[in-house]
Amino acid sequence: MSKKVAIIGSGFSSLSAACYLSKLGFEVSVYEKNETVGGRARQLIRDGFTFDIGPSWYWMPDIFERFFGDFGKKTSDYYSLDKLSPAYKIFFEDDVITIGDSMDKICDEFERIEKGSSKYLRKFILQAQDNYNIAINEIVYRPGLSPLELVTKDTILRVDQFFKSISGQVRKHFKNPKLIATLEFPVLFLGAKPSKTPAFYSFMNFADFGLGTWHPKGGMYKIIDGMRKLAEELGVSIHMGHAVEKIVVNDGSARGLVVNNKTIQADFVLSGADYHHSETLLDPEHRQYSEGYWDKKTFAPSSLLFYVGFDKKIKNVEHHNLFFDTDFEQHAEEIYDDPKWPTKPLFYVNFPTVTDQSMAPEGFESGFFLVPIAPGLEDTAELREQYFDIIMKRFQNRTDQKVENNIIFKESFCVNDFKEQYNSYKGNAYGMANTLFQTAFLRPGLKSKKVKDLYFTGQLTVPGPGVPPSLISGKLVSELIDKNK
């Protein structure tokens, strides 16, 4: 008889694990508290507009291909992809940098800003490509059980890159602050300041400039749709509107879940909900990590988000737009060192309808505005409005147009929603950061050290935050469960 696995949550990591476990012969059931699957990657549909609520950057297309490939499928069996050209635009106070879809175009843009900079850029991206190959082939697909996983011939040769920061490396070779900000941007996806992120993570720069920025037609939710379909094809049963209240432990082993006051038996429990929350579903003696442990960790930022429907097309923007027209350092300090609402926020705006009109009615634009903020901040309707005014003024000013009277509706999402909708620790948006001391075996483990047959997956564990790592996390944990069955 197949062994039963009960999975908490239906984010990328849970759906990935569900597919792998089902393929390995387990009987898999997923329990999700919300009414739709996808976790932080759900979708908002309103008045003919479609918004991805969370992730919008499709990077590392090879990881998605590898995921579907493990099931004898291709991404194109589930969704169609476009490579964005340009990939994105960065608005500075006195200039705009456009990142094209090839190294040649990007080098031309670097030369325009700083003569001679493209020579080192090509070298930097070649090194970043080596790091990418090492990370993907030798590091990230390992379960974080031992420090030895990080020790390979290639990592020994690059050991200094684990102790130097990406910020130091970039600043050594580039002097122009705009180019520095452009090259430091990709590691923000890892959740920490570039000055706290090891230089080895320059592989994110290869993901950016080398592999490019892609868009699944219809939005990022198409990936979730595809994974759900694949999971169901593999026999996974998915239960929405099922908030897990407790993880049942008998004689030191996880034996099921309590959902809606009913006990569900299982041979293994796997939680893809935020790790901190998952442990609160256990009696205190079964938890591995104290409140003090979580409080000391560097969390990725939370976010203030606005989903805005415009009744006209917006000028001078691309699909992805970064507004780096204020002090990057000050905003970073207000996220990590001295948590408070940012004095002069940097922000990001996504207009998927620039390349994909299926996401809004003809002639209209759907816009998603994101301000990264420290997790755990006070979140009120007044603060949200105050910040909407700030960024809308800056947006209009930098893009040279008036659009505030063309807003048909807007919805916001912030710290309180992250907590309420996902049981997110302090309302973090994308998990626990990847710093040197929060990498691989130093992250909260995939397998409980206290309760047998209890496992964890997702952006707070191995390998880290982001959609591609969440897909990998689901694969790693399934292999561990299979090994221990």
Minimum separation from the CB atom of position 406 to ligand FAD (A):
24
Contact 44, 411 (CB under 8 A): yes
What number of other Cβ atoms are within 10 A of residue 469's Cβ?
26
Q: Does 244 bind ligand FAD (CB under 6 A)?
A: yes
What is the separation of C-alpha 1 from the centre of its chain, rounded to a whole number of angstroms?
A: 37
343 CB-near residues (< 8 Å, 6+ apart):
330, 331, 334
Minimum separation from the CB atom of position 291 to ligand FAD (A):
18
Rank residues 78 and 110 by Cβ distance to ligand FAD and give the closer one: 78
- Determine what percent of the chain falls in helix, strand and coil, rounding each to the nearest 5: 45, 20, 35
167-206 footprint of ligand FAD as x/- string (CB under 6 A): ----------------------------------------
Q: Does 33 bind ligand FAD (CB under 6 A)?
A: yes
Phi then psi for 313, rounded to 5 degrees? -80, 145
Segment 296 to 325, residues that bind ligand FAD, using CB under 6 A = 303, 305
Q: Does 31 bind ligand FAD (CB under 6 A)?
A: yes
| Helices 166-173 and 117-134, axial angle in degrees (round to 10) | 150
Q: Does 75 bind ligand FAD (CB under 6 A)?
A: no
Q: Which residues of 81-109 are buried (b: 16+ CB within 10 A; e: fewer)?
A: beebebbbbbbbeeeebebbbeeebbbeb
Rank residues 19 and 41 by Cβ distance to ligand FAD and give the closer one: 41
Rank residues 14 and 117 by Cβ distance to ligand FAD and give the closer one: 14
Contact 4, 265 (CB under 8 A): yes
Q: Does 36 bind ligand FAD (CB under 6 A)?
A: no
Selected binder of ligand FAD within 422, 425, 455, 456 (CB under 6 A) = 422
Minimum separation from the CB atom of position 53 to ligand FAD (A):
7
355-358-363-367 Cα dihedral, nearest 10 degrees:
-70
Interface with ligand FAD: number of residues (CB under 6 A): 37
Minimum separation from the CB atom of position 47 to ligand FAD (A):
21
Q: Does 429 bind ligand FAD (CB under 6 A)?
A: yes
Q: Does 49 bind ligand FAD (CB under 6 A)?
A: no
Q: Does 118 bind ligand FAD (CB under 6 A)?
A: no
Rank residues 44 and 436 by Cβ distance to ligand FAD and give the closer one: 44
Q: Does 272 bind ligand FAD (CB under 6 A)?
A: yes
Selected binder of ligand FAD within 213, 439, 459, 478 (CB under 6 A) = 459
Contact 188, 433 (CB under 8 A): no
Selected binder of ligand FAD within 224, 279, 465, 472 (CB under 6 A) = 465
Q: Where are the alpha helices (DSSP H) in 86-220?
A: 103-113, 117-134, 153-157, 160-163, 166-173, 177-184, 203-205
Minimum separation from the CB atom of position 38 to ligand FAD (A):
7
Tokens 């990998």 belong to: 472
Nearest-angstrom CA–CA distance, 189 and 318: 20
Nearest-angstrom CA–CA distance, 99 and 93: 17
Selected binder of ligand FAD within 7, 41, 84, 322 (CB under 6 A) = 41
Selected binder of ligand FAD within 6, 23, 40, 399 (CB under 6 A) = 40
Listing DSSP states for 454-477 in one string gives EEE-STTSSS-SSHHHHHHHHHHH
State how far the alpha carbon of 104 is from the alpha carbons of 22, 27, 88, 203, 210, in Å. 44, 50, 15, 19, 11
Minimum separation from the CB atom of position 444 to ligand FAD (A):
12
Q: Does 372 bind ligand FAD (CB under 6 A)?
A: no
Selected binder of ligand FAD within 458, 463, 471, 481 (CB under 6 A) = 458
Rank residues 406 and 421 by Cβ distance to ligand FAD and give the closer one: 421
Nearest-angstrom CA–CA distance, 90 and 106: 13
Rank residues 32 and 208 by Cβ distance to ligand FAD and give the closer one: 32
Minimum separation from the CB atom of position 220 to ligand FAD (A):
7
Nearest-angstrom CA–CA distance, 42 and 52: 6
SS3 405: helix
Q: Does 124 bind ligand FAD (CB under 6 A)?
A: no
Segment 1 to 30, residues that bind ligand FAD, using CB under 6 A = 8-14
Tokens 């011939």 belong to: 153
Rank residues 93 and 291 by Cβ distance to ligand FAD and give the closer one: 291
What number of other Cβ atoms are within 10 A of residue 363's Cβ?
11
Minimum separation from the CB atom of position 327 to ligand FAD (A):
22
> For ligand FAD, which stretch binds (CB under 6 A), given 111-119, 353-361, 422-430, 476-484?
422-430
* Kind plus residue range of the DSSP H or E element containing 307: strand 302-310
Segment 50 to 69, residues that bind ligand FAD, using CB under 6 A = 54-57
Q: Does 470 bind ligand FAD (CB under 6 A)?
A: yes
Q: Which residues of this chain interact with ligand FAD, rule CB under 6 A?
A: 8-14, 31-34, 39-41, 54-57, 243-244, 272-273, 277, 303, 305, 370, 422-423, 429-431, 458-459, 465-467, 470
